A and B are shown apart, each in its own frame.
Chain A
Amino acid sequence: MKMHFKWTLITSIILGFVGGHSLAEPLYVQAAKGALREKPELTAPILQELPRGTAFESIATEGAWYRVKIGVKTGFIHRLFVGKQKPLETDALQKLGEDQDLAKSVRRRSSSYSVAATTRGLTAGNRVREGRDRYPSDPEALQKIESRQIHPDSLRKFQLEGGLR
Chain B
Amino acid sequence: MRAFSFVLLLGFTACATTPELEPDTRTQELKDEIRVGREIASRIIGQYGLIPGEGSQELTEYVNLVGTSLVPHSGRPEVSYRFAVLNTEEINAFAAPGGYLFVTYGLLKVIQNEDELAGVLGHEIAHITERHLNREVLPKRQVEAGEIFTRMLSRGSSDLAFSMTRMVQAGLEILLEKGLGPEREHEADLGGVIYASAAGYEPRALGSLLSRLEKRASEGRLPKTHPPFPERIAKLSATTPEGPASSSKTFRIRMKRFQEVMAKLPRRSS
Contact = CB atoms under 8 A, between A and B. Distances in A.
Interface residues of B, number: 100
B46 A16 contact: no
23 contacts: A20-B15, A21-B14, A21-B17, A43-B241, A52-B77, A78-B194, A80-B75, A81-B75, A102-B39, A109-B163, A109-B164, A110-B32, A116-B139, A116-B140, A120-B137, A131-B165, A131-B172, A145-B41, A161-B257, A162-B257, A163-B253, A163-B254, A165-B199
What DSSP secondary structure best describes chain B's contact surface?
helix
Interface in B160-204: 160-170, 172-173, 176, 190-191, 193-195, 197-201, 203
A113 B32 CA distance: 8
Interface in A109-131: 109-110, 112-120, 122, 124, 127-128, 131
Interface string A76-91: 0010111111111110
Nearest to A106: B39
A80 B253 contact: no
Contacts of B82: 145-146, 148
Interface of B: 3-4, 7-8, 10-12, 14-15, 17-18, 20-21, 23, 26-28, 30-32, 34-35, 38-39, 41-47, 49-50, 60-61, 64-65, 68-69, 72-80, 82, 84, 98, 100, 114, 126, 129-130, 136-137, 139-141, 143, 151, 158-170, 172-173, 176, 190-191, 193-195, 197-201, 203, 239-241, 248-251, 253-254, 257
B168 to A, nearest CB: 7
A144 interface: yes
Contact of A116 (B44, B160, B167): B160
A105 B10 CA distance: 41
Contacts of B47: 135-136
Given A80-B74, A105-B39, A146-B82, 12 more contacts: A14-B7, A21-B15, A32-B73, A33-B72, A90-B78, A109-B164, A113-B32, A122-B169, A135-B44, A141-B49, A148-B61, A155-B69
Q: Which of B14, B27, B42, B257 has the most CB of A within 10 A?
A: B42
Nearest to B249: A163
A164 B194 contact: no
A10 B50 contact: no
Contacts of B136: 120
A64 interface: yes
A132 interface: yes
Given A88-B23, A137-B43, A142-B38, A25 B18 contact: yes
Interface residues of A, number: 82
A142 to B, nearest CB: 4
Contact of A17 (B15, B23, B141, B198): B15
B239 A42 contact: yes
Contacts, number: 255
B14 A80 contact: no
- Which 7 residue pairs across A and B have the least CB separation, nearest first? A163-B250, A117-B139, A17-B11, A131-B169, A32-B72, A135-B43, A164-B200
Interface in A1-37: 6, 9-10, 13-14, 16-18, 20-21, 25, 30-33, 35
B160 A117 contact: yes
A142 B28 contact: no
B245 to A, nearest CB: 13
B50 A141 contact: yes
A139 B44 CA distance: 11
Contact of B31 (A6, A96, A150): A96
A93 interface: yes
Contacts of B34: 96-97, 100
